[in-house]
Amino acid sequence: MSATTVRWSWLWMPLAFLILGSTWVVASPVGSAPDDDYHLASIWCAQGDRDAACLETGSSPAKYVVASGAINSGFCYATKPNVTGECANAELNSTELFLTERLNNVQHLYPGGYYSVQSIFVGTNVERSAFIMRMFNVFVTAVLLSLLIRVTPAGIRQGTLLTFVSVFTPLGMFVIASTNPSGWAIIGTLLTAAFGFSLMHRKSWRNRRTWLIAAGLMVSAAMAITSRVDSSAFTVVTVLLIFLLVGATKMKQQWIGSLLLVGIAIVGAYTYLVTTPLTESGSLGSQQKDADLFWTNLFNVPDLIQGIVGGWPLGWNDTVLPAVVPVIGLLILGALAYVGISTTWLSKNVAISAGVVGLIGFPLLFMQSQGVAVGEVVQSRYLLPLFALLMFLVLLPKKIKSPLLINRRAGFVIATSLWFTLNLSWWVNAHRYSVGADAPFFEVNAAWSYGPPLLITSALALSSSAIFVAGCFAPSLNKREPTVMGAVQRT
């Protein structure tokens, strides 16, 4: 990759991601993300009463009437993998309002910032509004990636990009391009870590780059804190892990950045404490809260991890991906993790250990307290922010100005495999909503209505993902022979 190409990567890589994310946006109909009836209703009512969108009934307990398409559009195909997305058209074209109390205005299960921002795009056309919201999520992510590539040190930038492309395939890509607030949670948590760690290595606040990094940190943290209550807590974890990485001496030297991170942690902790807990109404499961449940969950937590890379179905748990997707995904994560832990030092080891404890401990404590087993309530997307945070730590080099290096042949195999699973997942997802899961694998629907013709959209996905994946891996590839399997040791 030439110096000119690298210099302009902050433009062409986000553009490739924007195109790739757009293909995911139009690969599924309105209401296809988990609990979209709740999230869309909450978006439609985030600004209170709005003509043809939302109206509070004034009854007790509180209820709202919401545009029918924002609530019911996904129910005709949700959990029915052989029913295509076309069945949603009747609800999307309806002008009726639907009575509900299943929204954040009533239940207050989420901080609400995500809903308030997305409500700006609510219009009279439900389908158009929802797709604009999805595109906005992809656009914001592309802008933050552009800022990351432009202003952060090469080592931090590369660790973040490798984490992004490996951990967010395929579940993360699906969620980012949806109207589910988990998209903001996973992006916000990972980039809070990247910008926060970068900020702690800045020497002067008189430099424009320092202020841009701080701006990226604030936006990323706001996305995480205002999207989900658990990601509010994850920002506190993120700040603690950053402090473990840099140590007390660096914290004192960079006292302005330290105070900013502490402020973010306080806001995250406050948001977590004041938001209505999901467990307010009592236990969510029926399992006995005993030692057997604990050990069973402990040994089955990896099921949630493999679900991140394709082991769990997408959508309403109704889009099953081929087994090759999670198998390759886990192999890729293992290969990258081996490269990452080939370069360690004391504070990195401590931070990784703390990250592992958090990744396992959070779901275990929740499931034990609620009497639920793995697979019943806790989903893979809930752990995705913490797992991305852990991989970010693993892939950090000791010298932040230089990227972690991978042998070129090994890196090419990893990148190509990742590109394959990313596009296979996209096709299975789009195919399921176009013609149904049981239709022949390469059958297409000429009347597919969510975007450009399916074959054109798939061509855009294939090309843009190739450019984006190549851009994520290229700076790490090295011609030298590896000294320890795939890792290249710097001298």
| DSSP code per residue over 242-310 | HHHHHHHHHHHHTHHHHHHHHHHHHHHHHHHHHSPPTTTTS-S--S--SHHHHHHHHHHTHHHHHIIII
Q: What are residue 50's DSSP bridge partners?
A: 54
- Residue 399 one-letter amino acid: K
Taking a C-beta distance cutoff of 8 angstroms, is the pair 308, 327 a contact?
A: no
Q: Is 489 exposed, middle or buried (0-12, 13-18, 19+ CB in 10 A)?
A: exposed
Question: CA 134, CA 240: separation in Å to the nearest integer?
Answer: 31
C-alpha dihedral (87, 92, 94, 100), degrees to nearest 10: 100
Q: What is the pLDDT of residue 424?
A: 97
C-alpha dihedral (407, 423, 234, 288), degrees to nearest 10: -110
Q: What is the pLDDT of residue 275?
A: 83
Q: Between these two residues, 289 and 154, which has the higher pLDDT value?
A: 154
Which of 46-50, 113-117, 266-270 has the lowest average pLDDT? 46-50
Reduce the DSSP state of residue 403 to 3 states and report it: coil
Predicted confidence (pLDDT) per residue in 404-450, tens digit: 899 899 999 999 999 999 999 999 999 999 999 999 998 887 666 66
- Tell whether the model's pLDDT for residue 478 goes beyond 80: no
Q: What is the pLDDT of residue 326?
A: 96
Q: What is the pLDDT of residue 278?
A: 58
Reported as a pLDDT band with limits 50, 70 and 90, residue 481 is very low
- Tell whether the model's pLDDT for residue 480 goes beyond 70: no
Taking a C-beta distance cutoff of 8 angstroms, is the pair 229, 109 a contact?
A: yes
Residue that is written with structure tokens 């889009």 in the block? 319
Q: What is the pLDDT of residue 181?
A: 96
Could you tell me the residue ranges of all domains in the chain? Answer: 3-30+130-478
Reduce the DSSP state of residue 446 to 3 states and report it: coil
Reported as a pLDDT band with limits 50, 70 and 90, residue 1 is low
CB atoms within 10 A of CB 58: 7
Nearest to 77 by CA among 304, 419, 315, 349: 315
Taking a C-beta distance cutoff of 8 angstroms, is the pair 37, 101 a contact?
A: no
Q: Between these two residues, 420 and 49, which has the higher pLDDT value?
A: 420
Alpha carbon of residue 212 to chain centroid: 22
- Tell whether the model's pLDDT for residue 482 goes beyond 90: no
Which tokens hold the place of 242?
Answer: 């950053």
Alpha carbon of residue 239 to chain centroid: 19
Predicted confidence (pLDDT) per residue in 63-79, tens digit: 899 988 899 989 999 99
Q: Which stretches within 371-398 are classed as H helix?
A: 380-394
Work out whether strand 406-407 and strand 477-478 pair parallel, antiparallel, or are unpaired.
Answer: parallel
Question: CA 161, CA 391: separation in Å to the nearest integer?
Answer: 11
Reported as a pLDDT band with limits 50, 70 and 90, residue 52 is confident
- Tell whether the model's pLDDT for residue 91 goes beyond 90: no
Reported as a pLDDT band with limits 50, 70 and 90, residue 483 is very low
The gap between the terminal CA atoms of the chain, to the nearest Å, is 22
Question: CA 54, CA 297: separation in Å to the nearest integer?
Answer: 41
CB atoms within 10 A of CB 330: 17
Q: Between these two residues, 469 and 379, which has the higher pLDDT value?
A: 469
Q: Between these two residues, 51 and 100, which has the higher pLDDT value?
A: 100
Which tokens hold the place of 374?
Answer: 């793995």
Question: CA 258, CA 251: separation in Å to the nearest integer?
Answer: 6
Which tokens hold the place of 475?
Answer: 């700076």
- Tell whether the model's pLDDT for residue 338 goes beyond 70: yes
- Tell whether the model's pLDDT for residue 355 goes beyond 90: yes
User: What mean pLDDT comes out for the span 154-158?
Assistant: 94
Q: What is the pLDDT of residue 120?
A: 95
Q: What are residue 65's DSSP bridge partners?
A: 55, 99
User: What mean pLDDT comes out for the span 23-30?
Assistant: 93
Reported as a pLDDT band with limits 50, 70 and 90, residue 491 is very low
Question: CA 43, CA 273: separation in Å to the nearest integer?
Answer: 22
Predicted confidence (pLDDT) per residue in 198-207, tens digit: 999 988 888 9
Question: CA 289, CA 461: separation in Å to the nearest integer?
Answer: 46
- Tell whether the model's pLDDT for residue 489 goes beyond 90: no
Average pLDDT of every residue of the chain: 90
- Tell whether the model's pLDDT for residue 146 goes beyond 50: yes
Describe the crossing of helices 208-227 and 126-151 by its angle, rounded to 10 degrees: 140
- Tell whether the model's pLDDT for residue 285 goes beyond 80: no
Q: 371-398: string of b/e by CB count within 10 Å (b at 16+)?
A: bbebeebbbbbbbbbbbbbbbbbbbbbe
CA dist 114 → 89, 133, 222, 236, 274 (Å): 26, 11, 9, 19, 16
C-alpha dihedral (420, 422, 425, 427), degrees to nearest 10: -80
C-alpha dihedral (162, 331, 380, 141), degrees to nearest 10: 20
Q: What is the largest CA-CA distance in the chain?
A: 71
Helix or strand (DSSP H, E) at 99: strand 97-100
Predicted confidence (pLDDT) per residue in 391-406, tens digit: 999 999 988 888 889 9
Alpha carbon of residue 421 to chain centroid: 17
Which of 79-93, 213-227, 261-275, 345-359 has the lowest average pLDDT? 79-93
Q: What share of the chain is helix, strand, coil (3-state, %, to 5)?
A: 65, 5, 30
Which residues 6+ apart lie within 8 Å of 466 measured at CB?
A: 419
Taking a C-beta distance cutoff of 8 angstroms, is the pair 363, 383 a contact?
A: yes
